[in-house]
Structure 1
Amino acid sequence: MTQSVIHEFSERGALAKHVHNYHNRQTQTDMAVAVSDAIAKKHNLILEAGTGVGKTFAYLIPALLSGKQVVVSTGSKNLQEQLFLKDLPALLTMLDIHVPVALLKGRNNYLCHLRLEKQMQMASQLSEYYIDDLLKINQWAHLSKDGDIGNLTSVAEHSDVIPSVVSTKETCTGKKCDHYYVCFTRKARIRAMEAKVVVVNHHLFFADRLLKDTGFAELLPDPDVVIFDEAHLVPDICINYFGSHISSREIDLLLNGIIKIHKEVIRDSIQLEQLSQRGLLALSDWHNAMYDSQVSDWRKVLANKHLATVSWALQQALTDLSNSMRHHLGRDDQLDLAFEQLYELSQKLQDYFECKDIQAAYSVELGPRFIMLRLSPINVAKQCQQLFDADTRWIFTSATLQVNRSLAHFATELGLSSAQQIILDSPFDYPNQAVFCVPRHLGKVGQSQHTVKQLVDVCVQAINAAQGRTFILFTSHQMLEQVASALQGKVAYPLLVQGQASKQSLLNKFRQLGNAVLLGTSSFWEGVDVRGKLLSCVIIDKLPFVSPDDALYKARAANAERQGLDPFSHISLPQAVISLKQGVGRLIRDEKDRGVLILCDNRIVNRAYGQAFINSLPPMQRTRDLDRALQFLKQIP
């Protein structure tokens, strides 16, 4: 198999015959061989492939030629669809092979015939605009082959109707459903079971593998090989799925649902509604108290007498309602399901409030209109060792996995120390294509007016030198807002600011305008691909260290100290290096790109740990002279 893979990447292979101006990249062939060997010799592989290696084809060709059942998991739906709709069809044609492939999404991406039918039956009670969208969806349902809501173009993606007609675990009746044999989710699973290559995203993979949360038992097949692209995201996703969370929105919906069941079905028990209303009142009191306190660490909540009192009052209200519902079990399927959900939620809430697990972080996230309680394990290596079983070959790849020229940090996080580890550098000519500037005379990083003024001054000079065509990436929304406000009227180029529109809309505008400046935080640090002359400059406000007040970081730091380890070098520094590499990766996207990276944080040159960042970044020209960097920008046509 390895020889076949090498042949397809050679000057006589399929790529040379079908790809215009194809030339063999040794690093791409090296990666393909490493993936092929991992599949054939049954070992796990962790591989960083720098930008430009061509890693997608380097793992897809061995996957297609192996004859094994392979699951390819990506970090985003965009990449998932690119693989399935573009890359895989192209390779199947080039290789002249017929391998069944399937695209599988989470069940809430598929239309549910039963829920649509129920909505249509309620049409007379619905608003006119809602009915318009419902009728369009109903018409589309009869034409669609896969029921994928992503292919629904006649209705806005944020339509209120869509959440009411997509498949959910809670409303799925399985084989009892009248629509079982035409069910889109069931058909998607069948296609996945029959396919040799199945394309999913990380969240679906872990939801299915760990929570069995997709209905119809496991949705995914039991594959021979799993390839994680954008694998740098996997550790955080594992923490999310090995942990648990409770949303105030979840509690609110459940309580209101029980009130509805009382009014429509169990009308002879007013106590159900009274206790549900008492629960809603307790939820409101708790909600208000939590927002007033602005506490992010749950252990601090417990230390506050008032917050602890309203928290336990909420849990008691849910327990009282659960005990009352127990007397009505068996009278109605909806009530029985609501009882199970309430009982489970009440137990989770009690476990969370008791805060007993010293190996976990208990954090509070205050959303726009809801509160999320999150329990996150501080070390998932042991769970991962059980998850990544020996019967499957596990392959992890990304452009950003190494820290200080080592993959040990990533391997240790996932309990994969025995996996083969390979770093393949980008084939791009970074010394000639890019300049990395840390301007002299920068003050101490922070939120002071002087810091903002310095940053704005650098941004104005760089934007003018680049004639727009700039990304400014921030580590905080607060700094983004201050700089965005200060730049108004100081530059003559269009400013696109995160929050003004969706991420995709802002990127489309950036590409269309050709001279724009885009200001964004974490979501723009990765998964963004702007090639050529449209993007010439990336400015980063400071090194992306996690906040020392972050609940998960504090719990991990305390655990590291108990083991005699330094939390900064073992946790904070590696995370910051990988995050910075993601932001830097926006600049040079192909072999013809040229550009300047400006980092407005002199700690990278003034502190000893700065060398770990520099060693992990591409080998760009380095300078402290901002004028030299500006001159390079001005020479980019």
Structure 2
Amino acid sequence: MNANADLAVVFGAQGPLAECLSGFRPRPEQLAMAQDVAAALTHGSNLVVEAGTGTGKTLAYLLPALDSGLRIVISTGTKTLQDQLFHRDLPMISKAIGRPVDAQLLKGRSNYLCLYRLQRLVEVPDDVPADRMDDVEHLRQWADRTLSGDIAEITTLAEDSPLWPRVTSTVDNCLGSRCPVFDDCHVVAARHAAREAELVVVNHHLLMADLAMKEEGFGQLLPGADAIIVDEAHHFPDVAQSFFTNSLGSGQILDLVGDTRSEAVRGRGFDVPLQRMLDELRKAAADARLTLPDGLSNVPWDEAGDKFTAAFEALGESLDGLISELVTSEDPGPGLQRCRQRAVSMFAAYETIATSQDDIALRWIRLARRTFTANATPLDTASELRALLESSPSTWIFTSATLAVRDDFKHFVSRIGLPDVTARQIPSPFAFADIARLYLPQGLPPPNDPGF
């Protein structure tokens, strides 16, 4: 297929898709969406397109995207669609258009082995249970063989193994360019490969992290992208909102305590003042959780009570004390330096949450069985998201089966903050009114009722 290919032929009964895809049937709705996407890519105009179930949205944007000659980033809301796009749809389309597609599947950093953290675990395995030492050895041997560092390659460790957080990195604990093994970093290698590809498949969380430039030192994807296609776009505003939320969790605190202790043992030595501060911080996090109810739920800030407010303040004081202790460290090394930076960032989040006004942000607490996360979510995130989207010169295309409310896109468009956008609604090829019935039993409790 060349740049002047007729989409009507491509999506027709005798076209390349029909030849390569068993059971393919031409759908006017799919062709209409493909033409809208092609026009948006050609003219560099932003597009919001709702296409009903059965339209075939994926092919409707992939074919014109690959035919455009532009560098494309595709973002999905779920890992399932991300894998389907890369492992099923793209190979099939490559066959249909008669050429290879230079595509990269880029995952979040927690999907890649961190060589530095593995090295640290091997050197100081004191807190690894004896029955896990064989797993550590398997990881070490695999690390010598793997080219990608994708943890999906290793099947000897369960997905929920407690070792994975110990040998993968987060934005908080990554040392970035100061890492001793930065040149061999699997995350860096994956992102460099993605920057050279004609098409990159990511998820909404990774897209927002890149857009907000929250991962410094790794090179952003978006400046080189001509167009970003956001599939499952109904999830995108909520994901974006989470990136503008200031959060501080007891799980973060405990990770910081563990990493600081480990770095101190390897570096300057684990002295008494530092140990005392870490113990105080760990206790403060545990005490704050004890003031909150059991169970898994979200609790409004004003329902948490005075005991939590006091405990949260004590947590902030302990965090500030740790920062002061780490500032006095002589020649701390990159690991302890990063721990200090993490503590400073956490304290900034603490101050924002503790002082947020109700007319500016919604404060709330997410409860887990043993941990909590305090949050302050801005009431207006559309303007911040708009600034980020407009800072990218790319064409933006948002698509999903559910974007309009009563055939009106105002709600979705206002949440993403893009005023200059063309909205298109394409009906499903399925005649639901004729082939389906919906039965609603009377007396059902509300969806949020425990008896639902």
What's the TM-score, normalizing by structure 2? 0.90
Point out the more displaced range, 331-340 or 169-178. 169-178
Q: What runs of 5+ residues in structure 2 fail to find an aligned partner?
A: none
Match for residue 414 of structure 1? 416
Q: What runs of 5+ residues in structure 1 fail to find an aligned partner?
A: 448-474, 481-637
| Aligned partners of 1:258 and 1:272 also within 8 Å | no
| Aligned partners of 2:90 and 2:101 also within 8 Å | no
* Counterparts of residues 170-319 of structure 1 (less than 5 Å): 170-174=172-176, 179-213=181-215, 215-218=217-220, 222-260=224-262, 265-267=267-269, 269-291=271-293, 296-301=299-304, 304-319=305-320
Match for residue 324 of structure 1? 325
Question: 1:109 & 1:341 partners in 2: Cα distance?
Answer: 21
* Counterparts of residues 621-636 of structure 1 (less than 5 Å): none
Residue 247 of structure 2 aligns to a residue whose secondary structure is strand
| Aligned partners of 1:248 and 1:370 also within 8 Å | yes
Match for residue 12 of structure 1? 14
Match for residue 478 of structure 1? 450
Point out the more displaced range, 276-285 or 426-435. 276-285
Question: 2:298 & 2:229 partners in 1: Cα distance?
Answer: 39
1:42-82 Cα distance to aligned partner (Å, 9 max, x none): 11111111110000000000111000000000011111111
Shift, 1:232, TM fit:
0.2
Shift, 1:123, TM fit:
6.0
Residue 291 of structure 1 aligns to a residue whose secondary structure is coil
The one-letter code of the counterpart of 2:203 is: N
Question: 1:419 & 1:42 partners in 2: Cα distance?
Answer: 11
| Aligned partners of 1:46 and 1:395 also within 8 Å | yes
Shift, 1:168, TM fit:
3.8
The alpha-carbon distance between structure 1 residues 393 and 132, as it changes in their structure 2 partners (threshold 3 A), is same
Highest Rg: 1 or 2?
1
| Aligned partners of 2:352 and 2:376 also within 8 Å | no
Question: 2:270 & 2:150 partners in 1: Cα distance?
Answer: 42
Count, aligned residues? 448
1:220-275 Cα distance to aligned partner (Å, 9 max, x none): 55310000110000111111012221111111232344455556654585222223
Match for residue 81 of structure 2? 79
The one-letter code of the counterpart of 1:296 is: V
The one-letter code of the counterpart of 1:385 is: R
Question: 1:344 & 1:477 partners in 2: Cα distance?
Answer: 38
The alpha-carbon distance between structure 1 residues 476 and 60, as it changes in their structure 2 partners (threshold 3 A), is same
Identity %: 31
Residue 100 of structure 2 aligns to a residue whose secondary structure is coil
The yes-or-no answer on 1:155 pairing with 2:157 is: yes
The one-letter code of the counterpart of 2:346 is: L
Point out the more displaced range, 424-433 or 101-110. 424-433
**Which of residues 128, 136, 139 in structure 1 aligns to 2:138?**
136
| Aligned partners of 1:133 and 1:159 also within 8 Å | no
The one-letter code of the counterpart of 2:311 is: V
Match for residue 550 of structure 1? none
Point out the more displaced range, 129-138 or 31-40. 129-138
| Aligned partners of 1:329 and 1:336 also within 8 Å | no
The alpha-carbon distance between structure 1 residues 256 and 351, as it changes in their structure 2 partners (threshold 3 A), is same
* Counterparts of residues 455-494 of structure 1 (less than 5 Å): 475-476=447-448, 478-480=450-452
* Counterparts of residues 18-29 of structure 1 (less than 5 Å): 18-29=20-31
Shift, 1:148, TM fit:
1.3
| Aligned partners of 1:167 and 1:185 also within 8 Å | no
What's the TM-score, normalizing by structure 1? 0.65
The alpha-carbon distance between structure 1 residues 176 and 277, as it changes in their structure 2 partners (threshold 3 A), is closer
Point out the more displaced range, 291-300 or 39-48. 291-300
Match for residue 70 of structure 2? 68
Question: 2:180 & 2:252 partners in 1: Cα distance?
Answer: 28
Residue 423 of structure 2 aligns to a residue whose secondary structure is strand
Residue 437 of structure 1 aligns to a residue whose secondary structure is coil
Question: 1:265 & 1:144 partners in 2: Cα distance?
Answer: 29
Match for residue 383 of structure 1? 384
| Aligned partners of 1:235 and 1:413 also within 8 Å | yes
1:142-178 Cα distance to aligned partner (Å, 9 max, x none): 4433221123223221222222222444554455656
The alpha-carbon distance between structure 1 residues 152 and 92, as it changes in their structure 2 partners (threshold 3 A), is same
Shift, 1:188, TM fit:
0.9
Question: Higher RCO, 1 or 2 (CA under 8 Å, sep at least 6)?
Answer: 2
| Aligned partners of 2:10 and 2:17 also within 8 Å | yes
The alpha-carbon distance between structure 1 residues 219 and 59, as it changes in their structure 2 partners (threshold 3 A), is closer
| Aligned partners of 2:244 and 2:378 also within 8 Å | yes
Question: 2:294 & 2:177 partners in 1: Cα distance?
Answer: 48
The yes-or-no answer on 1:96 pairing with 2:68 is: no
Shift, 1:281, TM fit:
2.7
Question: 1:343 & 1:113 partners in 2: Cα distance?
Answer: 25
| Aligned partners of 1:262 and 1:270 also within 8 Å | no
